[in-house]
A = this chain, B = another copy of it.
Amino acid sequence: VSRAAELQNYLERTRRLIDQTLERHLPAAETEPSRLHEAIRYAVLGGGKRIRPMLACAAAQACGADPFPLLRALSAVELIHTYSLVHDDLPAIDNDDLRRGRKTVHVVYGEAMAILVGDALLTEAFAWLAAPIDGVPPARQLRAVAVVAAAADSRGMIGGQVADIEASGAANLPPQSTSAVPSLDVVRFIHKNKTGQLITASVLLGGLLSGASDDQLKTLEGYGRAIGLAFQIVDDLLDQEENEQTLGKTAGKDLAQGKLTYPAVVGAEQARREAAQLLDTAVESAGMIPGSVNFLPDLARYICARRN
């Protein structure tokens, strides 16, 4: 089989495993209060690219681990990602009613429920991360909990989200009125934190649970940082270029909301160039992980080439 077919196969298989893990380990829709659990399942099981748990899985495999016993813990990062989407879509924040091609949680279940669904998913993620795993030393697992928590907290993902909201206000001013350099610093801060940290933590999670050495963890971190930033630049470019049909969410929204995006600050061409450089860095780092099953370089290319 060709490398492309092999990758396609790997992506589909891994995605299916992650979807099954989410489906099995989320509380059943009948669990009381059933409307809450129905809403939780609606939020998580309605699609999504599963890029974070895929990266975690690929990192674990590249470090020589069998990913099967780790799947629940590795999928926890998808719960955190989903909670952040549910809360970001709320009327008080981005006020979005379309996500992953479907109505957002607050549109279907109401605002109060959407807030609590997000809270529940974030909490559930830590329950999944802390459930004992045969063969994984508890000290390692505890470190993984700490890494994920740090990536998602007020100095990480939430800090990025707040900076994004604050910058949107500022970005409503005409672009000429502000100097480009502070904007670039701000957009870098936003991307690094809002998207980059959880993506990096996902890669590290895979490494930590598979017993990676400190050197390997450093390499994985470099890979995660590069691909995290590249991912967000590609996202910004897609929002600018694509239509709703392909994207599955409201397109052109960033611009309409006056969001500070990479292409808006440096121009689309420069943004594309930087994404390509980051991809090179990621592929190079990934090449240093010695595992015989190493899909990290392919996954990096897949993330940068995606159309939605």
Partner-B contacts on A (CB < 8 A): 27, 31-33, 35-37, 40, 83-84, 87, 90, 92-93, 110-113, 115-116, 118-120, 122-124, 126-127, 129-132, 137-139, 141-143, 145-146, 149-150, 152-155, 158-159, 161-163, 165-166, 189
Contact = CB atoms under 8 A, between A and B. Distances in A.
A158 to B, nearest CB: 5
A104 to B, nearest CB: 14
Contact of A120 (B146, B154, B163): B154
Nearest to A167: B33
Contacts of A138: 137-139, 141-142
Nearest to A137: B138
A178 B129 CA distance: 42
Contacts of A113: 162
B93 A153 contact: no
A150 B127 CA distance: 6
A167 to B, nearest CB: 10
Closest 7 CB pairs of A and B: A92-B111, A127-B149, A120-B154, A130-B145, A138-B139, A138-B138, A130-B146
Contacts of A84: 119
A187 to B, nearest CB: 14
Interface centre among A126, A132, A143 (most CB of B within 10 A): A126
Main secondary structure of the interface of A (DSSP, over half): helix
Contacts of A130: 142-143, 145-146, 149
Contacts of A123: 122, 149, 152-154, 158
A158 B35 contact: no
A161 to B, nearest CB: 6
Nearest to A111: B92
A119 B87 contact: yes
A163 B83 CA distance: 20
A185 to B, nearest CB: 11
A130 B166 CA distance: 31
Contacts of A87: 115-116, 119
A220 to B, nearest CB: 19
Nearest to A122: B122
A153 B165 contact: no
Interface centre among A37, A124, A150, A162 (most CB of B within 10 A): A162
A160 to B, nearest CB: 9
A119 B87 CA distance: 9
